Amino acid sequence: MNKNRGNGSIVFSKPINIIGTGSIAGHKEAEGPLAKYFDKTTQDALYGQDSFEKAERQLFLEAVKMALKSANLKETDFLVGGDLLNQIISAGFASRELGLPFIGIYGACSTMAESLILGSILVDGGFARDVVCATSSHFATAERQFRFPLELGTPPTPTSQHTVTGSGSAVLSNVDSGIGITCATIGKIVDLGITDANNMGAAMAPAAAQTILTHIQNMAIPPNYYDAIFTGDLGSLGSEILIDLAKKCGTDISDVHQDCGVLIFSGMEEMKCGGSGCGCGASTLCGYIIKEMQKGNFKRILFVATGALHSPTSIQQGESIPGIAHAVEITKE
Which of 29-37, 95-103, 223-231, 248-256 is the region at the interface with a copy of itself (rule: CB under 8 A)?
A: 95-103
Contacts to a copy of itself from residues 123-142, by CB under 8 A: 124-129
Provide the H-helix boundaries in 170-259: 200-218, 235-248
Contact 7, 22 (CB under 8 A): no
Kindly state the number of chain residues that form the binding site for a copy of itself, as judged by CB under 8 A: 60
* Strand 166-173 relative to strand 130-137, pairing: antiparallel
From 64, 67, 116, 118, residue interacting with a copy of itself (rule: CB under 8 A): 118
Q: Does 249 bind a copy of itself (CB under 8 A)?
A: no
Angle of helix 52-70 versus helix 89-98 axis, rounded to 10? 50
Which residue type occupies 263?
Answer: L
Residues contacting residue 4 through CB under 8 Å, at least 6 positions apart? 10
Q: Does 101 bind a copy of itself (CB under 8 A)?
A: yes
CA distance linking residue 327 with residue 232, whole number of Å:
10
Binding mask 3-32 for a copy of itself (x = CB under 8 A): xx--xx-x--x-------------------
From 59, 63, 68, 85, residue interacting with a copy of itself (rule: CB under 8 A): 85
From 47, 93, 139, 265, residue interacting with a copy of itself (rule: CB under 8 A): 93
From 36, 96, 247, 299, residue interacting with a copy of itself (rule: CB under 8 A): 96
DSSP state letters, 172-187: EESS--SEEEEEEE--
The helix/strand/coil state of 227 is coil
Q: Which residue number, 249 or 333, has a Cβ lying nearer to a copy of itself?
A: 249
Contacts to a copy of itself from residues 189-248, by CB under 8 A: 189, 191
CA dihedral 53, 170, 182, 325 (to 10 degrees): -10
**Which spans of this chain sit near a copy of itself (rule: CB under 8 A)?**
1-4, 7-8, 10, 13, 51, 53-54, 77-78, 82, 85-89, 92-93, 95-96, 99-108, 114, 118, 121-122, 124-129, 145, 185-189, 191, 309-314, 317, 319, 322, 324
